[in-house]
Chains A and B, each alone.
Chain A
Amino acid sequence: MSGPLSGFGVVLARDLRLAFRRPGEMANPLLFFILITAIFPLGLSPEPELLRTVAPGVLWGAALLSSLLALDLLFRSDYGDGSLEQLVLSGHSLPVLVLAKTLAHWMVSGLPLVLVAPLLASALYLPPEAWGTLMLGLLLGTPTLSLLGAMGAALTTGLGTGSALLSLLVLPLATPILIFGARGVDLAVQGMDPVGPLYLLAAILFLALSLLPLAIAAAVRISLD
């Protein structure tokens, strides 16, 4: 029953179940991702040359923004109905539990982006050679975004400030992910080896996985005090 990782499975299952109960809300980040990506051709021009050039940045920027969208809700409803407090008092390791919550969040809001990316990439005339780099980069980068966002959400849950403050806190910290992800795709488009940025994204992910759950747990405790 207990052990260092106990509670992880339970929280993960619970959060996923809760998410699936509201399929509309679950679809929001994905819809947002598609919407933002569509806005750029409308705002710029439908020229293939132009769109191909901006595609990496647009796709990654859209991924960043749609991850942010879903974050506010990560802790808010649990905070509101007291279940967050239950988690803290449960006796299980809080960093493990918040990691489970973040994983559930990512599976619902980040993973779909990875899967849909090739479709949107082709809409922006991004050559298929670069799709692999795009998907792998998103696969490595979106979990880190979820972790950073979870920390921001935990810090701002108790406040009435809404998502503007959350964005202000998270976006500057997320810029390296944006840079490495988008520029990695660029390298792939140019036929060069994108391994460097991808390794960096992986390294950042591991750093985030080891440190951020602790920070998120601490932030949750502060919010609940």
Chain B
Amino acid sequence: MKYKIETTDLNAYFDEAHILKDINLKIPEKTVTSLIGPSGCGKSTFIRTLNRMNDLIDTFKMNGTVTLDDEDIYDSKFDVVELRTRIGMVFQKPNPFPKSIFDNVSYGLTVHGMNDKDRIRERVEESLKAAVLWDEVKDKLDKSAMGLSGGQQQRLCIARTIAVNPEVILMDEPCSALDPISTTKIEDLIHELKKEYTIIIVTHNMQQATRVSKHTAFFLHGEIVERGLTDKLFIEPEDKRTEDYITGRFG
């Protein structure tokens, strides 16, 4: 099995608060890995470390290494723009731009310098089809994305992310703001996407973790308590704390 992302002794801080403690995690390629754990356990901070989104926060400090295909992404030679092109991200709350549906998907293409109109149109259509949104929006591509429902907005954000053809997609609780039907659609989509992309998904919903992911890591107080195949972790957890969490005794 090939590993796409590896973190070694990763520690992260916001000011004095020690958010991530010695995280060593290997993310296998072209599979779905779930990160579960109670609120405030550091899982969101962790995935935001992988595309250096935390760099935007002044008080963030980290040490340890994070590699993408064995290259250190925090190395000063590693271009953060290239990193974020290779590692896309879908956020907790759908965040389409206040632009047309078409412009939302083409945005990532044009910021990377693509200006062939036909190719852009083609790529927008492909991405919307891949995100199973095309049939719902093909007649209103020039309408604002803000007019779509929450579930459609989230699929649009996924389409926008796959348009730039990343290698990894990070999903930070992508369904927490959606209704059950939209959630099912996104989960179906994740099953399709894992053939092409390495996916890391943060979720509060343990059924969701079992439905979509092959591997799971359980975070607690900034540490990884247990990791492994999802089936095993949920059926016979090794650690007492994992068992307590997945059986709903806390969190």
Whether both chains belong to one complex is answered with: no
